[in-house]
Structure formats: structure tokens, C-alpha cells
Structure 1
């Protein structure tokens, strides 16, 4: 279960704004709930006017002048990129522009195995090839030693980056990074591709139109893929880019959308995030990032198709490898469920592919709601890792706490990377657990709803009106709405029971809501139940008629006390780890005979049940979550049931003889603690 937060809108502001603009009431309520209660604020958010002057970014003029001098002298320029989608698109944009104006230009992107950013070895090779000017895109801000080497070898450097600089900037003719402390640009959230686009505009004497027409589609992909906030100029880049992407003249993008079965009539940021960007990223993860660059630079359909076919194959390999690693980890968790009692999930495996362990870590975080660190042990005796975390548990600070054990590490609040000696993994694990002990309660995954829907909000016109808020993404999320106390009229299986569909009645109107990858038998929702829902709203068209469909983000029984649930879940984990708990609480989690029977009968009525769903169906004054988990542990230990930790589900086993539940280790241990305290 996730923690819910339901925002509110300013009724007076919405009423005033509805008289002064033509946005729908539902859209105005969303904007108000997000702090936009003023017409000027809303106009600033939604308008797509001219791009800001690129020369407001510190050193942009110096960067343009340095590159122009190299172009005029026909000196060899190297675009030094990065292997992810942002780096690939940034490289493509700047290389294409310079090639178009007649520059003597090449590009270089390191392989993922070489590590992020510049390297001395690569710099030396570029010098041997006759490069006179290196221009970085999406990297370089931390390349202090590499920059000195560049000048030692008689070359020059221009840095364009969007990552946070350190205390010292690299030696260069220009350092273009909006995060510089002295940068005069108002907008700071451009990605590497966005800064490359702005550099091209600067090289075009500040005239944006032709540059936007040529490259905004490519730039939009880099912007969405890098998960930078879709606000301000990024919003304009993506909105404009999507319009050009629909009828793109880029052979590579055209082939990529065809091979990915993209619906060009409904292109959105979601299309980029889930259909286009992963295939570009696959080249950096499993092959060479040069494949993606060559696809985007292809000069005809045949050449584009050749490279895109490779991208498609690499993406399929990525999916397969990702699924294999995830499957192996879930199997391990099922055999070692105690790892889920720890506050941080730390797992190590032999030669897990570096290109996907970050993705797998993110999936485990979403599934189990715990900060996750995955370590891939290599033949050289070191392990390289990827970490993903929840807002409120700063994984970079966590790694810093263990920095004396690490060879390398980096990151920010919610993601990080590290390298550690294989021999120190055990000590590192203990140190991470110790850091997590600082928290009275661990942060949890959350669902933020814009506000609670009223019947008047639920019209086709209102839902259609939300499109003005697109593109959605980081910093401008798709609206999520709360529906409180919806009645379940029917629960139906879909696709042979693989999925479920709810028929709901919300304040007198019927709606349908699919729930994917959960069968009705496991779902734990029955006709007559009353639910609280967090939903996206969608338009469904059938037989020429339009209606509203609900896309469920999260659901739970109406009136659930989430604080009680999370407190009890935390106490169960503490109890399982042997922590001391107050006597009064120990007594509250000691199940009676009647409660053991109640849970057994509930499970007898179903083939298999989701544990959270079971808890919610058993809500009572005395049945807290910790007590339920102790009951289920007792069932497992005495052979009454089997529990899948990875699926968070439980099912009963056939019983041929009488079982003594009081002999279960968990109950013996609990009652021993109670007797000792009394």
C-alpha cells in the first residue's frame, strides 16, 4: 500500500478564473491544486511563445565564438557525447548543425563499459586523430584532469553540460552550464540536448526558428528521456517537438516510430518515454551508442532501417536480460523473505548486466516500496552497483555515510551508482542498514491526488479539456484524482483472468476501470465493496459515442486508516529483526484463537490472496497489520500455507492432520517476550 496525499483547490480562485478564461472547470481545479491561482501564472505556464535568448546563459557567446573560429579555420572539431538518450540526441543535434554549416566535425561517445564522462585515454586518442577543439555535450562539468590534458596536448575545450558543477570548473574556453553559480539564465532545468539546441541557436546568430524546425523533434526525445521537469522552456521544446515528430523528416525517427508501432495521431510524452527513448537507450546499454547516433543521422530510408533494426534487436535483448535478472531476484526473495524486513533492499549477483540493473532496481523499489541497491560482482573482484530510492531517503547521503568502504560513488537523492570491493559487500550492507536506523519511520512511496472529484467534474468535455496541460512528465504530472467511496457493482475477469475490470458506481453514475496483471481471485475486491480510488481520466470511444474511463493508479477500501497501517507494518519489520517493542504493543499483536480461525476461514474462501488485500478485508478494531503478518508467519511455519514474498500473496495448503499453531516459532518467540516483560 502507498501513502495517499489528496490536495485541494481554491474554490474562490477557480470561480474567478472561470469567468476570465476559456479553460474548463476541471482544468482550472487541477491548476489551482498545483498552486496556479493567477491568470498571469497560468498564461506563463501554458503559452508556447519564442524561446529565451540563448546568450543569457553564461559563456554561451564565448562558446559560439570559439566554435565559429574553429569552423572558419576548418579545424577538426569533436563532439564528445554520452551514451544515454540525452547524450545521443545532444550529439546528433550539434553534429548535424555543424556539418550543415560546413564544419570539419566528428563525434565521439564512450561505451557504457568505459564509464560516464571524459577520460584521459579518449582525449589522447582524439589528439592523435588531429582534433583541435573538443565540445562536450551532456558531460564535462567534472572533467578537471581531462581538461588539463586537453590543453597539454595543444587542443581547446568547450564544455556544455547540465549536471551540477563541483567547487572547481574545468579549464575551458567556455563552460556552458545553467547550474553554474554565476549563470545569468533564468531557466535552469534544460537537459544536455536542450543546451545543445540552445548552442545551435546561438551559432545561428540567435535565430531560433530554423533550428527548432530541424531539431526540436530530436531534442524533445532527449528532454523526456532525461526526466527533467517539463516546465518552462522544456515544456516548449517537448510541445513543439511533438508537433514536428508527427511528420518528422528524420529518416531514423520515422523508421523508429514505424518499428515501434507508434500511433502518430496520438503522439505524447508517454509515447517518447515508453516507445521511442527505450530503443535509443538500448544501444548504450547493450551495444554501441554509435548505432543510435547513426540511425538519427541516416541520409535515406534504407540506411535508417538498417540501424533501427539493430536498435530494435538490442531493445529486445535488453528486455530479456532485464526480465531474467528480475526473475532471479524475485526467486531469491521468495526463498529468503527475511530480506524484505530490512529497511533497505541490498542484493548482489554475479555479472548482472550494468545496462539494466538501474532499471531493475527501480522496479524493485516500486514493487516493495524500499530503497534498493543492486550490486553486480565482476571477475576483477569488484562490484558495480546501482541504487534507487524514495523521496525522503537520500541515497547519495546514504552512500556518503559508507564512502570509506567505496572505491567510487555518486548520485543524488533518489538515484546513485557505486563501486565496491567484493570483500567489503557484507560490511557495506551493515553500514547501509545502520544509516537506515536513523529514521523513526522510513519514507514510503506515495500517491498524490490533485483533489477529490465531484459528479459535476466527470463530463467528457471536462476530461478533453485536460489536454491543454500536456505534455505530461516530471514537474508536470498527469492529473490524478481521488474518488472517495465508490461502490463495486461487479468484478469481471479480462483476458482469461489475467486482468480484472471493475464496474463502479460513483455518486449515481456507472464507470468501468481495468486493473492490469491482477486476476479477480487475487485482487481481493468483491461486489458490494466500497473503495477509495486514485485515478487518471480517459476518453473511451465506442460506436461513435464517447464516455469516461477510469485508469486506476491505486485503490483501497473506503475509510482505511493509513497511519495505523504504516505504523503496524514498521513494527512488524522491527519485530522480525528482533528489535525491542513496548509490552503494550506486544500484547496488541498476540493473536487470539478466534483471530487465527478468522484469517484461516477468510483464506479458505479464496485460492490465493494479496496480503494487503487480505488485511483490508479483515479490518477490525483489534486486527492490525502486524498481527496479521504474525498469523500468516505462524501458518507458514506450521505448514498451513505458503507465502510468496515477491508477489505479497498467500494461499492455503491441503492439510491432512491437526496442526498446533501455538508451536509456531513466531508465536513462541512473541509470547516469550511478553512473559519476560510482564
Structure 2
């Protein structure tokens, strides 16, 4: 679009990557999806079943097992030991939404377990992460175990101090680990190389939720129970048998064995199978058939004690009790996404996991309710910390929003939603990101993160109501602070870019409230499209935030500036730090010198289009694309679609104080579709004319008003149709 905001006929910036029929058909056939959906997946690089799964499924059974963390079993054992021995436990969190949510999730579960637990968030004097003062205060109470949530991975000095005082520390975190790790007894961090967890993009609250899920599982009969599943198959052509075994502990596969057995040639003493199964509780899907095959192979002189898995699972899941192993594989939802890699025993294992979880849920319905409450906070944290909206994060956010809608908001959120006038019927990830999360974050930014935490964990309805009012007021104060500071520093921040090789923006000003450095850095980064650092100082301490873009890793850059920090850390594109004011000149000098070697991904003016919808395909049914791709967020932006030849049949100017926005009605020939063009009201009659046809670039959206749901377009660009 031209700078004067008038309509141009140029659509050269609208780029739609070509997709072939040969690419589309396999996805349509494998996953039973439409060519439209398949084409969007392909353009977004989502072509493997393991990735497509998280767009087509939202069942919690598709999340990863918490015991995949290498340290999870040790963490559970240590916490249960603290319960048994009556130890004092401290949960130390962070002050943002992720940290407060993490603390609330773990605190509530440890209270349920009857553990003597307390919580603490950073005080203004503490800075980021676990503090010496917090450790000393806890030691004075004879505390013996600290569990960090959403922090701790960089607190080497503090954890060493705790150890000197006889306090053990479990670190649960999700920030990038430093080269030298602290001496904690247990780490649960998906970003650590030896974590063994299959997805490193979860929030700190999700890590806490995984720990809580493991603690809940530890209260079941399946905890630490080892079983083996054995399946035999006969290959008539090769005149042999194949033995497939999986050993399971805490519902995680810990060992596998696959052997070929040739009758008359393979002795049982030549096989690994007997040793693999020794001392195990052994299951087979159809134990009678498996025993018959074993007799054929080894004769009747060797006995195997097998339990029949089909009868056990069939009693809980009746739909499978008459199914063969081959039929179980055909029915397996998970197998659909693993393709040729799936096997009968893999499908039986997946079904066994589902069976165990169903048994636990039936026996402990309160745990299911507690999990739903936790997921509301996990969803908030994923959006607040801008976690990549892929893999199990999609399941967390979908289930969290669904829980809010169906089960109503949990305590604390209910009161806050009421103050913010949140419409639950139309609640989306965008509503949470733009309204709820900033309000919750405001408490921490204004130096009172404890108020947000108390709101979430208080059992007193009157107290929660008062806290929600306080947070709402703080949010308004936060908005004023950001607005005033942004106006004051904008021009000097822009001028700093040239001083930093046109690759960095740096702003230092005492007027900036330390609680909003991150917000300001993010806004300046969006304005100038370069990584941005904002700094303020109070007394002898400088506090800053960095927000990055265009492929530049913030934490690596801060690391490269040398050992000048009190503390620093964060994520690839969002980091924080502090140092003594005496180092300010040195810090700024190093940043400027380093800017010469900064490498940024190239800027592009092109707009990638996910799909072109012809007029006849712009139907209410195709708005279901929203349900598949929502939640949107990091690494999963809103869909950008294009339709040619939309006829504009009506317009209306909207705006509460000033008429800035343009509401439009387009006609497809079959349907009339409303659309919003934000901030473009002045173009009405100037170059947007009723009765003309236009090519439109847009996002799909839904509007909820007075209980009515309406599909609508959010116009990005518009040009006269050719």
C-alpha cells in the first residue's frame, strides 16, 4: 500500500507460494482433510503427521508424558520425601504471568498433598530469579527444600549459597541455560540438552504443570510399576516369527526389543527375549493366541506367564474388547499421524496408556477438575511468554480456553474477567493476549506481583474481588506509564539506530519505570524492525530488557558482552538483565562496538498468502479454518487469505470517540460477508466506493454480540478488481 493510504492496483507484494496436486493429495488422503486445508498446511511447512496432529487434535492424551523429563522421577521422589518427613518447602517464582501462574499451579498441588509449603516472588530489591535474601529468610525458618518455577537456571551463586546452608534446590525452568549450570540437585528444563523431553518450547507454567501431573500420577497404582507388552506375529512366506516387546515404566517406553525367530533353528537360549522379560509382569493383547505361538516355537516344555491385555482394557473401554491387534492399529488415532512407522505393538502401547489414564480419571475425578483449572493458567502463560504456538502448546491453549468457556473461569480469573468485561462466549487467544494477560502482568510491572498470585490462590471470594479491583487500577496506571515513556523516548531511540550500524535500537532514560522496559522494547522493536534494548536505573542498579527480531538471538548477544551483570537471561527473542550503574558506560560501549557484527535476517515487504479463496468458496463452512489454526501466536500467525472480485455493497463509519474505522459489507453472489478495515474510515468515498469490486487481502474472524456469532473479515489490504 502506498504511503498516502490510497488504493493502488499493485498486488506484486501479495505472494502465494505455488502448491501442486502431487503435494496436496497425500495429505488429503492420509488425514481426510480438504484440498484448501492441505494447501495451507503445505504453504506453512506443516507437512509431517507429527506436526499436523496438533492442528487436527486437541485431546489431552496427545500431550507429552511428564516422565519423559530425565529428572522428573527424582523430583517426584524428593517432593514425596519432603511430605513424609514434614519438611518445609519454598516455591520461588517469577513476577510475570508465567512465573505467577507457575507458582499458583505448584503451590495449590503441594497444599493438596498436605506439604508444609510457602511461596515467594522477587521483591523489588531482589532483582530477577532466586535471591540470597529469600534463601536466608527460608533458612531462618529451618526450611530444607526450595523449588524454583520459571527461574533458577542462571542462579549459580544463590543455589550454591543454599547448598552451604543445607537447603536442596529443585530447578524447574524453561529459560535458555547458561554454559555453567548451578549445582541444583534436580533440573527440569526442556531446553537442557540432557532433559530428554521431546519439545523445548513450553512455558515455565507448563513445566510446573508437568511436575504437578507427575505428582498426581504418583498417587496412582501405576506409579513406578514396570510391565512388558509382548506381541508375536507369524510370517508364512519367510517361515519365521517376529517378537516385539516394549517395557514400560510410568507409562513411558523405557526399552524395546524386536527379534526374528526361526523355528528349529533359533534356540530360546540364543534369544534376548527371555532376559528382556525376566522378572516382568508380561501382557499380550491376546494371551491365548500368543501362548499358542510360543508353544509352536519353543514346544510345551517352556512356560510363559502372560496376562491378557484385551480383557483388562475391554472392561474399561468396551469398544475394543473384540478387536484384534491389527484392528487396534487401524483404529488408532495416533497411528494415523505416525504413518508407516506405526506398528501393532505401538498401537497397543498407546491404547494401554489411554486405558491407564481413563482408570485414574474415573477413580480420581477431582484430579481431572484440578487439571482443568491448571490448564487455564498454562494457556495464559503460553500466550504471555510468547511460546511457539505449535506442538503441545496448541493443546494447552485450546484446552485452557475450552475449560474457561465450559467450566467457567477458575477462582481469581473469574473476578478479573468480570472487571475486564470479558465475553466468555467469544473468548479467544487474542482476547487473552490483549486484555487479560496485560492486566495480570500489570501487578508485577508495578512491583506488586504478589497481588496477582494472591488473586489466583485465595480461597476468600471477597479478597479476590478486592484484588481484582486493585489489579485493574494498576493496569490503567501501567498504560499511562508506557504511554508517557514511549512519547518521551521515541525520537532519541530512533536516532540511536544510526549509531548502532542500523542494526540495534538502544534507549536509556531514568524516566522509564523498570516494570515497563519490556513493553517499551517490544513497541520500539515493532516500530523500527530491529532488536531493541531499553534501560532505566534506580539508585545504583540499571535494569533493562531486550526484544529481538529477524533471527537475532537476544540471550547470545547479552552473553557476548561479558561478565558485567548482576543477573541476565531469558529466551531467544526476549531477555532481561541488570547490572551496577558503574558498568553502564561499559555496557553501552560494548553494545555499540558489537553492533558492527550483528547479522539480521533481510527485511521483506512481501506478504505471504496462505490461500486464495474464490468467491464461491468464501462460505460459512470454510470459516472452520479458524477453528483449526486458532490459537494463533508465535510461529503460527493469523491466516492471511485473498479473494478476488468481492463486490462492496455497503459501508459504515465506526468509532466511539472519533470515527476512525470502516465497516464494510461484501457480496460473494451467494453470501453477504461483513468486514472491518481498522483505521481507514477517511478512505470512504475517496477511493473505496460502494458498488465496485475489489481484490481483498484479509484475516478471518468472528464477532460475538448479544449472544450472536457472526463471521467477518478483517481487511489487511484492498485493491480494485482487474
Structures share fold, TM-score greater than 0.5: yes
- Cα pair distance change 1:405/1:448, threshold 3 Å: farther
**Inter-partner Cα distance in structure 2 for 1:334 and 1:136:** 38
Contact 1:26 1:457 (C-alpha < 8 Å) held by counterparts: no
Contact 1:58 1:178 (C-alpha < 8 Å) held by counterparts: no
| Alignment counterpart, residue 180 of structure 1, candidates 192, 199, 222 | 192
Q: Which residue is equivalent to 2:118?
A: 106
| Alignment counterpart, residue 367 of structure 1, candidates 527, 535, 547 | 527
Q: TM-score, normalised by structure 2?
A: 0.68
Q: Which residue is equivalent to 1:78?
A: 90
Say if 2:398 is the partner of 1:239.
yes
Contact 2:525 2:547 (C-alpha < 8 Å) held by counterparts: yes
**Inter-partner Cα distance in structure 2 for 1:545 and 1:97:** 39
Deviates more, 1:122-131 or 1:236-245: 236-245
- Cα pair distance change 1:533/1:323, threshold 3 Å: farther
After TM superposition, give the deviation of residue 408 of structure 1 in Å.
6.1
**Inter-partner Cα distance in structure 2 for 1:266 and 1:148:** 49
Helix, strand or coil: the match of 2:119? strand
After TM superposition, give the deviation of residue 404 of structure 1 in Å.
7.8
Q: Which residue is equivalent to 1:132?
A: 144
Q: Give matches, 1:17-166, under 5 Å.
A: 17-18=27-28, 23-37=33-47, 42-43=52-53, 45-47=55-57, 48-50=59-61, 51-166=63-178
- Cα pair distance change 1:531/1:471, threshold 3 Å: same
| Alignment counterpart, residue 198 of structure 1, candidates 170, 191, 210 | 210
After TM superposition, give the deviation of residue 411 of structure 1 in Å.
4.7
How many residue pairs match? The answer is 558
CA distances 1:264-284 after superposition (whole Å, capped 9, x unpaired): 112222222122222221111
Q: Which residue is equivalent to 2:659?
A: 497
**Inter-partner Cα distance in structure 2 for 1:523 and 1:114:** 58
Say if 2:455 is the partner of 1:295.
yes
**Inter-partner Cα distance in structure 2 for 1:35 and 1:248:** 36
**Inter-partner Cα distance in structure 1 for 2:599 and 2:210:** 46
CA distances 1:515-551 after superposition (whole Å, capped 9, x unpaired): 3245526998555999875421124689999875321
Deviates more, 1:235-244 or 1:477-486: 477-486
Say if 2:694 is the partner of 1:520.
no
Q: Which residue is equivalent to 1:537?
A: 700
Q: Which residue is equivalent to 2:411?
A: 251
- Cα pair distance change 1:338/1:178, threshold 3 Å: closer
CA distances 1:240-261 after superposition (whole Å, capped 9, x unpaired): 2222222236321111111111
Q: Which has the higher contact order (CA 8 A, sep 6+)?
A: 2
Contact 2:378 2:397 (C-alpha < 8 Å) held by counterparts: yes
**Inter-partner Cα distance in structure 1 for 2:100 and 2:505:** 32
**Inter-partner Cα distance in structure 2 for 1:218 and 1:387:** 25
**Inter-partner Cα distance in structure 2 for 1:278 and 1:471:** 18
**Inter-partner Cα distance in structure 1 for 2:411 and 2:418:** 11
Q: Give matches, 1:495-644, under 5 Å.
A: 495=655, 496-501=658-663, 513-520=675-682, 527=689, 534-539=697-702, 549-553=712-716
Contact 1:231 1:476 (C-alpha < 8 Å) held by counterparts: yes
After TM superposition, give the deviation of residue 161 of structure 1 in Å.
1.1
Q: Which residue is equivalent to 2:547?
A: 388
**Inter-partner Cα distance in structure 1 for 2:456 and 2:715:** 37
CA distances 1:24-50 after superposition (whole Å, capped 9, x unpaired): 543333223223346675345422241
Helix, strand or coil: the match of 1:356? helix
After TM superposition, give the deviation of residue 467 of structure 1 in Å.
0.7
After TM superposition, give the deviation of residue 368 of structure 1 in Å.
3.1
What runs of 5+ residues in structure 1 fail to find an aligned partner? Answer: 560-678
After TM superposition, give the deviation of residue 410 of structure 1 in Å.
4.4
**Inter-partner Cα distance in structure 1 for 2:129 and 2:590:** 29
Deviates more, 1:56-65 or 1:398-407: 398-407
Contact 2:648 2:693 (C-alpha < 8 Å) held by counterparts: yes
Deviates more, 1:455-464 or 1:93-102: 455-464
Say if 2:507 is the partner of 1:347.
yes
**Inter-partner Cα distance in structure 1 for 2:411 and 2:73:** 32
After TM superposition, give the deviation of residue 414 of structure 1 in Å.
2.8
Contact 2:653 2:681 (C-alpha < 8 Å) held by counterparts: yes
What runs of 5+ residues in structure 2 fail to find an aligned partner? Answer: 3-12, 221-356, 362-366
After TM superposition, give the deviation of residue 502 of structure 1 in Å.
5.9
Aligned-pair Cα RMSD in Å: 4.0
**Inter-partner Cα distance in structure 1 for 2:699 and 2:428:** 16
Contact 1:505 1:511 (C-alpha < 8 Å) held by counterparts: yes
Deviates more, 1:306-315 or 1:341-350: 341-350
- Cα pair distance change 1:52/1:411, threshold 3 Å: closer
- Cα pair distance change 1:10/1:212, threshold 3 Å: farther
Contact 1:251 1:300 (C-alpha < 8 Å) held by counterparts: no
- Cα pair distance change 1:524/1:413, threshold 3 Å: farther
Q: Which residue is equivalent to 2:480?
A: 320
Deviates more, 1:134-143 or 1:513-522: 513-522
- Cα pair distance change 1:277/1:152, threshold 3 Å: same
- Cα pair distance change 1:199/1:393, threshold 3 Å: closer
**Inter-partner Cα distance in structure 1 for 2:496 and 2:194:** 52
